[in-house]
């Protein structure tokens, strides 16, 4: 699914002028599914596609979402498509406090709620462009760690509860046997499962 998604987005002339990524939970959940022996799209509830267009009109964003949605109509899950240049216009209504405008899509990704989901991937020539401002240790180590830039305790606890449920259903682990440990290892310690990130097969190549 992910390979086809990246290929088809790169073919869209509407996206070529902008920095964009397939991002967040759909990337993280896919990697975690592969690492735990599950189906790649298990529990991927939506596909996040973010881009940065200085045009702040709601109509322009809606039209982009419509075109991408039509291109990806084969995907069974919801498509969540956002112009990160506009997020500050509605963030307070949704989350209760204002934020400053982002100056790039990468700056927006740096503020997302957990370090493992603060990630974006897109095609770049014959390879991939990866943006992971907090490294890949959380991604490959199956670690849920709060990104403290914007997240509140309530939002973080909801995310932890969801992943505990996924542990139970995917690995056969009962909830009382799951321990959540908040740790802050050095970000240069990338990798997981006893292997460096570059040696873990997740369906595409990453040079570390």
Other beta carbons within 10 Å of 38: 17
156 within domain boundaries: yes
Neighbours of 96 (CB within 10 A): 8
In a domain, 205, yes or no: no
CB within 8 Å of 31: residues ≥ 6 apart = 139, 140, 202
Using one digit for the tens of pLDDT, what is the confidence trace for 57-114? 999 999 999 999 999 999 999 999 999 999 999 999 988 889 999 999 999 999 998 8
Lowest-confidence pick of 2-11, 45-54, 199-208:
199-208
Q: How many domains does the chain have?
A: 1
Residue 206 lies in a domain: no
Among the listed residues 77, 99, 60, the one whose alpha carbon sits nearest the alpha carbon of residue 22: 77
The answer to whether residue 98 sits within a structural domain is yes
Scan for tokens 């709060």, then name that residue: 146
Nearest 5°: the CA angle 51, 56, 57 is 115
Residues 6+ apart with CB under 8 A from 122: 6, 9, 10, 20, 21, 22, 128, 129
Q: Are strands 20-23 and 120-124 parallel, antiparallel or unpaired?
A: antiparallel
Asked if residue 97 is part of any domain, the answer here is: yes
Q: Which residue segment(s) compose the domain that 79 sits in?
A: 2-199
At 121-178, the pLDDT tens digits run 999 988 999 999 999 998 998 887 877 777 666 666 776 676 666 665 555 556 565 5
**How large is the C-alpha radius of gyration of the chain?**
17
- What is the pTM assigned to this prediction? 0.76
């Amino acid at each position: 699914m992910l390979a086809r998604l990246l290929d088809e987005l790169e073919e869209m002339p509407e996206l070529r002028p902008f920095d964009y990524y397939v991002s967040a939970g759909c990337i993280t959940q896919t990697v975690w599914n592969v690492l735990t022996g599950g189906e790649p799209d298990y529990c991927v509830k939506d596909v996040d596609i973010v881009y940065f267009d200085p045009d702040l009109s709601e109509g322009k964003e809606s039209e982009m979402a419509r075109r991408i949605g039509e291109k990806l109509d084969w995907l069974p899950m919801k498509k969540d498509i956002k112009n990160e240049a506009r997020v500050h216009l509605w963030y307070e209504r949704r989350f209760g406090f204002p934020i400053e405008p982002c100056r790039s899509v990468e700056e927006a990704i740096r503020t997302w709620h957990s370090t493992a989901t603060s990630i974006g991937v897109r095609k770049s020539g014959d390879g991939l462009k990866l943006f992971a401002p907090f490294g890949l240790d959380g991604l490959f180590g199956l670690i849920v760690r709060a990104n403290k830039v914007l997240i509140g305790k309530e939002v973080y606890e909801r995310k932890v509860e969801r992943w505990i449920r996924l542990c139970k259903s995917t690995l056969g682990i009962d909830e009382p046997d799951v321990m959540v440990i908040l740790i802050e290892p050095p970000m240069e310690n990338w990798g997981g499962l006893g292997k460096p990130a570059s040696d873990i097969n997740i369906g595409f190549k990453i040079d570390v």
